[in-house]
Structure 1
Amino acid sequence: MKKSGSERYYLVLYLSVWSVLYFALGYFSLLIDDPASRVALVWFPAGVAVSAFLSSQRKHWLLIYIVLFLTRTLLDVAVRHSIGTSFAISLVSLTCDLSVAWSVVRFAGHADDLRKAVVWLIAVCVFSAVAALAGTSWLSMQNGISIAHSISIWWAANVVGNIMVTTVLTGLLRGGGPSLKLRWRSALAGALLTAVSTVLIFTLPPFREDEVGLIYTLACLPVLITVIIPVISGNRAGALVYTLFCSIAIYFSWQQIGPFFIKGLRHGEPLLVAQCYLAGTALLMIFIRIQTDSVQKGQAAARHAVGETAYCLDTTTGVINWDPMTPPGMEKIISAVGSREALFALVSPSVKADIASRWQSALTANNIDEEYRFPLPLADGEELAITERNLVCLPGPHGTVLIGYWSLSQPLITLKTG
């Protein structure tokens, strides 16, 4: 009963977070709508809704749909629409978002990340077009707005909002990357460079029509800085820096300042270029993230194939636990080295001192990247050449634990005795 109550509490909290985020971004989206069509130029809640569905179990989808539907209806009523219009627009919008999530699960649920991204992008474009036709048709009947003018705005707003917000939320939820110290040092430097370069680009004096190539080339500078952050600082840092980049670009674009407001462009075209600019950056980040994750998974598989395994040393008890996925050739090590004392009993005094020194350094510095090679004699006369790398210090259930990786650096050597 207690567990059931706890589950309900976390479910309510989970739904509340998504609802608040949906309302906040929806309110901001409606502040920057198109005055003529009353359609948001970028609909950020679309990405919130799709992320909410994809990050939760399917048994909760109906509940999420209802909560976000009520949130969307309340938002429209509070800002500008009648109850009937709010109800209809909420139905169209949330059904579109649910359809996108369903398509990803149905056609790429167990596929690799690249296929998931492609299916997601196609579904966003297709269902956004259907929703744009249905939504603008309703608004045309109610308010007499032009369908031809509004349908493209609705479609672009939904697609761009999906791409931008999903990029940020998936980056925050996935995490991953180098060590914490390296991540945040490089992330802070990247955030500063992104902010400075974006502000400089968007505050340059107006350019002539014959200088379009130059200004668009300069506009690529903050994009390059932004997309490299996930590679060197991890997905979460990349998501936050991308949010900073988008905030600056949206602020200046809404003030009709920046590289996209060039003489010769017709009304609405600069904002469309800005939408493509931000969405293109997000897509580039997504595919770089997929490629980076794929390389890391391939490296991990290669390490496993050549006989690498991870160990966890509880520094308080001295117990050493090994990765249950034992590669071939490492079974004897795991059976022989079950504790700190067992390891020290096998190695020579000099190796014992080196290992103890590395562990102490890891406790102080939290991370050691340098490799260390040493011989490990076993009781049956075999001697293994071990390479240890990536020694990390983390908090554990009983105190501090050390995580390290061992691999066989050369074939086994048999010492003949007797």
Structure 2
Amino acid sequence: METSRSRPGLAAALLWAVLYLAGGYISHLFNGPVQQTGYIWLPAGIAVGAFMLRPVREWPAIGVAFLVAQLVLSAIERGNLFNALLFAIDEVGAAALAVWLVQRVRFSLEGLYFLRSVILSGLIAGVLGALGGAGWYAILKGASFWQVGFVWAASDFVGVLLITPVLASWARFRAHRSGDHERFDVVLGVVTFVLLAVGSVMIFNGDSTEKFGLGAGYAMTYLPMFLTVVITVLLGGRIGSLSVLVLALIVILQTAQGNGPFALLDEHHGRSLLEAQLYLAITSLLVLTVSTLKTNPERAYERAAIVQNNMELALAGAGQVAYVLDPQSGRIDWSGDVQRVFGVGANAESLASVPDVLAHVHPDDHKTLRHHWRVAAVDENRAAVSLRIVLPGGDTRVVIDHGEPLLDSNLDVTVVAGIWQIERARQYAAADQ
């Protein structure tokens, strides 16, 4: 039994190790030969994402898997295994501590809490990791603590912003029906995604200043940022985070090869990859913010729709319909299956006013209903009344009206709300006869 439980955790740890190894290998390819610390470190986002998505009981296994992956990466590249182990402990420990601290406040994969969690985790992990790494280089190699620490923290922070949202969004993936997105939005989103990929290659491939001019070459870099936002609005945060990752791979690859607008900065500052990372960090934050602002109202609407649907089912099962009457305008809003009360062909739109409802009530009960709704609006000692509904075929159906006034802070009646319940006893008696 215990063995069967440990297998999923072991498989998850191995999967995270493979992702960590792949992210580290790609980062080293982008960075090229470095003396101290590189500008790109994608495993930071993988580590933070793993600790966010997996329960705490699995953290030790995942941490060990990351350490092994770092040693394998160092062995492949024939690096110093001792240094690799120290740096892995520093990075993995910083990521775990950062996520643990964020979870102590509040952690969620939804809405503004997720945005806050990613930013705080990236900042804390980057700073903690930079303290250890920069301190090691400063003590043993006499490097500038602040210079190495800034690059180290920036690379970790951007790695978290690029990778963690992708892992988190796809980890909570659930299949949607084809009707969840308008077909036009889907097609437009796919076209925008293709434009993002093609346009990014054109902008960052080669010397963009020769293609577009010096000022236009830098200005064109805003176009991919805009396209990632459009993709997020059309296709959601999951595809939006994926579009940022695609943009990041293109920008980092081209910049590492000396291409694109940021390569010009390399001639003056020697930090073209760092400048590219800051650009990608802003893009990622922009997409995360837009995704949060977009998905929060959608989820609220979805929850409201579920509540309304449940109420409709409950009312239908109880043989009831609910109404809300505005005494000032005479407007009536109905909930539930109005056809069960008013007969076939009735709908909420055709019963939206008092005269419309009276048209379906037996003429002898018009005065009773008017008086009941007036009393409900001004008197707390009202009683439920019986009404006869005239059905399309000429038969009648008896309903009980339970109305209650809802008062505002000034004790003025805002609306009259209530239910109409079919009087089943009379129906059964009529059927027996």
Q: TM-score, normalised by structure 2?
A: 0.68
Q: 1:377 aligns with which of 311, 315, 339?
A: 339
SS of match in other structure, 2:347: strand
**Residue in 1 that maps onto 2:65:** 67
Q: Superposed, which structure 2 residues align to 1:224-243 within 5 Å?
A: 224-243=226-245
* Residue type at the aligned position of 2:171: L
1:211/1:332 CA distance change after superposition, 3 Å: same
Q: 1:333 aligns with which of 306, 311, 316?
A: 316
Q: How far did 1:157 drift?
A: 1.0
**Residue in 2 that maps onto 1:365:** none
CA RMSD between the two structures: 3.5
1:65/1:134 CA distance change after superposition, 3 Å: same
Q: Does 1:308 align with 2:308?
A: yes
Residues 375-410 of structure 1 show CA distances to partners (whole Å, capped at 9, x for unaligned) of: 7522796986379xxxxxxxxxxxxxxxxxxxx996
CA–CA distance in structure 1, aligned partners of residues 351 and 128 of structure 2: 58
Is residue 133–residue 151 contact of structure 1 (8 Å, CA) maintained in 2? yes
Q: Does 1:149 align with 2:151?
A: no
Q: Does 1:200 align with 2:202?
A: yes
Q: How far did 1:61 drift?
A: 1.6
Q: How far did 1:236 drift?
A: 3.4
SS of match in other structure, 1:262: helix
Structure 1's unaligned 5+ residue stretches are: 310-325, 338-373, 388-407
Q: How far did 1:213 drift?
A: 4.7
Give the paired residue count. 341
**Residue in 1 that maps onto 2:14:** 16
Q: Percent identity?
A: 24
CA–CA distance in structure 1, aligned partners of residues 264 and 351 of structure 2: 61
**Residue in 2 that maps onto 1:256:** 258
CA–CA distance in structure 2, aligned partners of residues 98 and 286 of structure 1: 22
CA–CA distance in structure 2, aligned partners of residues 192 and 102 of structure 1: 38
CA–CA distance in structure 2, aligned partners of residues 70 and 184 of structure 1: 42
CA–CA distance in structure 1, aligned partners of residues 351 and 69 of structure 2: 58
CA–CA distance in structure 1, aligned partners of residues 343 and 87 of structure 2: 76
Q: Superposed, which structure 2 residues align to 1:391-402 within 5 Å?
A: none
Q: Superposed, which structure 2 residues align to 1:9-408 within 5 Å?
A: 9-33=7-31, 35-109=33-107, 113-175=111-173, 178-179=180-181, 185-203=187-205, 205-207=207-209, 213-262=215-264, 266-303=268-305, 308-309=308-309, 326-327=310-311, 330-334=313-317, 377-378=339-340, 385=347
Higher CA-based Rg: 2
SS of match in other structure, 1:257: coil
Q: How far did 1:39 drift?
A: 1.6
Q: How far did 1:215 drift?
A: 2.8
- Structure 1, 274-283 or 141-150: larger mean CA deviation: 141-150
CA–CA distance in structure 1, aligned partners of residues 277 and 172 of structure 2: 25
1:14/1:130 CA distance change after superposition, 3 Å: closer
Residues 342-387 of structure 1 show CA distances to partners (whole Å, capped at 9, x for unaligned) of: xxxxxxxxxxxxxxxxxxxxxxxxxxxxxxxx97522796986379
Residues 39-90 of structure 1 show CA distances to partners (whole Å, capped at 9, x for unaligned) of: 2211101111111111111221222222222222332343243232122111
Structure 2's unaligned 5+ residue stretches are: 321-335, 362-388, 391-395, 398-433
CA–CA distance in structure 1, aligned partners of residues 109 and 228 of structure 2: 28
- Structure 1, 154-163 or 140-149: larger mean CA deviation: 140-149
Is residue 172–residue 235 contact of structure 1 (8 Å, CA) maintained in 2? no
* Residue type at the aligned position of 2:57: K
Is residue 108–residue 117 contact of structure 2 (8 Å, CA) maintained in 1? no
* Residue type at the aligned position of 1:172: W
Q: TM-score, normalised by structure 1?
A: 0.71
1:80/1:267 CA distance change after superposition, 3 Å: farther
CA–CA distance in structure 2, aligned partners of residues 15 and 233 of structure 1: 31
SS of match in other structure, 2:264: coil
SS of match in other structure, 1:261: helix
